[in-house]
Structure 1
């Protein structure tokens, strides 16, 4: 079963670390320095066909240039994004951010978090994945698949 993750963080070192973690677990990984560099931002509705999702996991930093991660994830949910596992990372969440994330079903990782925390979350996701679920190739077919050299 192919697994897919979309990772958003403006810090190259964090994108690289997360790419290594997800790639090591067998994920196809797409990383972006901010949400506006991802084709998902270009649409007003979820571009994925019915019963398909763009990814198994969407993980975003809270504070990035152009758009906050929480705003981006909320927009994806409002557009009808079918990704069931979304998370935010930050070292300075406000109480309002935490409450909003919780109300949207978004997992919160407070920096600094341990890789064990992230792995525990991924293990839960992977255990609960439906084996027959389908991943959409659009809009990611237009994006560059991240490798260890270009995250």
Structure 2
């Protein structure tokens, strides 16, 4: 009888251990399910955040593209305006060359007249030398006119070179 009681006692102890282990296993399963659900929620939130970040990035890229296009359009418009202004200045320069060329031609005539007067004076002898002091345009003014004409001619050449460049 004692062995039977001992077997029943051992069986009861073993059954209690099995029950305890089963409860522990169920508790662990429940804990694992809760942790899995929490991790799944975190993963879902991270995926949603990543999608939102991608949408924000795409939106930012699109906004930057719009700004870039606007800046390019503004640069193109400024370039066209500068080109028009350059063409206007060039046209004004071309228009201003004609009067300068006439002034240059006049200056060349004054210079040629002064040279002619000098050569004529040398060829006429003493009577001409006596009259030279009484000329209508003083010799200093003729020389100044020739110098001014030469400066104007140089300015015209410099303007032509600047326009060509």
Which TM-score tier does this pair reach, normalised by the shorter chain? Answer: under 0.3
Q: Which has the higher contact order (CA 8 A, sep 6+)?
A: 1
- Structure (1 or 2) with the greater strand fraction: 1
TM-score, reference length from structure 2:
0.17
TM-score, reference length from structure 1:
0.18
- Structure (1 or 2) with the greater helix fraction: 2
Tell which structure's C-alpha radius of gyration is larger. Answer: 2
